[in-house]
Structure 1
Amino acid sequence: MTSFLRSDRSRPVALWLLAVAFLVLAMVVVGGATRLTDSGLSITEWKPVTGALPPISAGDWNEEFARYREIPQYQQLNKGMSLEAFKAIYWWEWSHRLLGRLVGAAFAIPFAYFLIRRQLPKRLIWRCAALFGLGGLQGAVGWWMVSSGLSQSELVSVAPERLTVHLGLAFALLAGLVWTALDAWTGAPRQTVPSAWNLRALGLTALIYVQILLGALVAGNDAGLVYNDWPLMNGALFPKEYAGASLWATLAHSQAAVQLHHRLLAYLLLIVAVVAAVGAQRSRYLPEGAKVLALAVAGAVVLQAAMGVATLMAGVPLWLGLLHQVMAALLLALATAFAWRVRRP
């Protein structure tokens, strides 16, 4: 009988986690398309099991369409929509939910297999269990987000703050999968570099994550469709429509405020990423791999900033909006890898 833990590393486990991370990335892309096409409210019920099957017959489609016609989005935004147009948005949301189910299966089945076969490093069991729980929570949060646009008469889409939580959990799951996959591939670290660089790398990663959350607020408020000039905002340095009715209304619901915050943090992130890359190259303590990753993160931040400006000025076309979101996911993955690598000389 083999021992439960023959090694602190497992490359099959690492490849499995990276495959799940790729599926999460695909889900982020389809979720972005669902949002940009206003498709997220087309399915008005949460059926985790039976909902995996789409409507088959004409009667099934008519029932789904009838339920959609009862919600505020149809009555205020899409009144008179044809059944064929409804099917187009329905397939986006159904695909997004199907991918969520696939992510769950792609995680749960191999997880059980590796546990039964005693091939999962003991130090990673709790972490994989936490990632599985985070994935399950993401499904519940997804429905919580959708329900905000089904019952609140003043909304014709989901609540921006709930969209931010939903997207934030997806990106947290992606970062957790990447970090754990790297740990599974290489094993436990034998020593670490000075803590100052650990904090810098984690701080840069956290800043990128906050910027992603601000981007979600921009998306949830359709704030990319206004103030489409740059570097000014409708010709002004500070938008006069900045303030909402309250502090929360300003931070979460003002189109001017959320876009301005997203711009300002982008400028700060550019500076921090470039300074970190330069500092990494000069460091005597960082391994070569960390220096390369620092440059990659800085380059990705510059590219993402340019892409953000282009997306804004073009009025957020579907393909460019999706590319901007994909780049955000890749940037976070790179920053996560950088933060992980600085700990390993």
Structure 2
Amino acid sequence: MAKGKIRTVLGDIDAKDLGFTMAHEHILTKPYGGGEKDNKDHILDDFPKAIQMLEEFKEIGGGAIIEATPESWGRDTPGMYLASKETGVNVVACTGYMNQDSGMTEKEDHLTIDDIADRMYNDVTKGMDGTSIKAGWVKCGASYNHITPNEEKVMRAGARVATETGACMHSHTTSGTMGIEILEILEEENFDLSRMILAHIDRFPDLWYHRKLLEKGANLIYDGPGKAKYYPDQLRVDLLKQLVEDGYEDQIMLSNDMGRRSHHKVYGYGPGFNWIKERFLPRLLDEGLSQEVLDKFMIHNPARVYQMKK
């Protein structure tokens, strides 16, 4: 069990108190910028519904939400603080960016690596959006099958800030691509890849690829279970079973990445925050994984990876 501190929106807590954790989620978002992402389905701005989703999560034993909404995707810092305080669910916020098509504008073209790093450092050590509420991790991201110059600047800035502050890094991947290339950039920055997380990686369900990422020491989040339009869950189950057999159970986390209204039961859709615990974990037990392994995915691995190292 991790013994360090995790930086939540309510302050630092002992890692052992993080609890059952959804490792990449969204409770409040209001994206800006153009492109396909600029539509109502991506706007989660109903505060009472945010409270409801966290209360329902807590009722089934939920302990923490790793909130993956950066400023450029409409981060609601006061809203996260109030939602966590009212429900008692730990919320860990991020600094950084998602990817080029998700909130970056011409402004980022003119920012240097140092400019981006200064903003990230302030968010982690002083507070986000003019508050004293601090970010607990650093976010970066890549586009589909390529990395833009702005995305690379964010990766390099993030690696430097994460190293300096002791925070972990966590990357968006578009359809699961560019994981190896992201890690290669971070290696150039001498970043400790055991502090790196790659999300949405199950959108590219390739066993060889996942093994290569894990061999480098990175952590993976499978956050697509239940989203049948992408792939049947049997693919994810088979990959998870093989990776556990390969000895990588300490580097894997599960979540649902519910950044749309159409992902949330409180907005009238689904699957909702409770689906992983109520549906997917029982299936993994039926498929032969142990409760000990599932506890690593949902409790122990997030508690270790998200803790501050300084």
When normalised by structure 1's length, the TM-score is 0.26
Higher fraction of strand: 2
- Return the TM-score normalized by structure 2: 0.28
Structure of higher CA gyration radius: 1
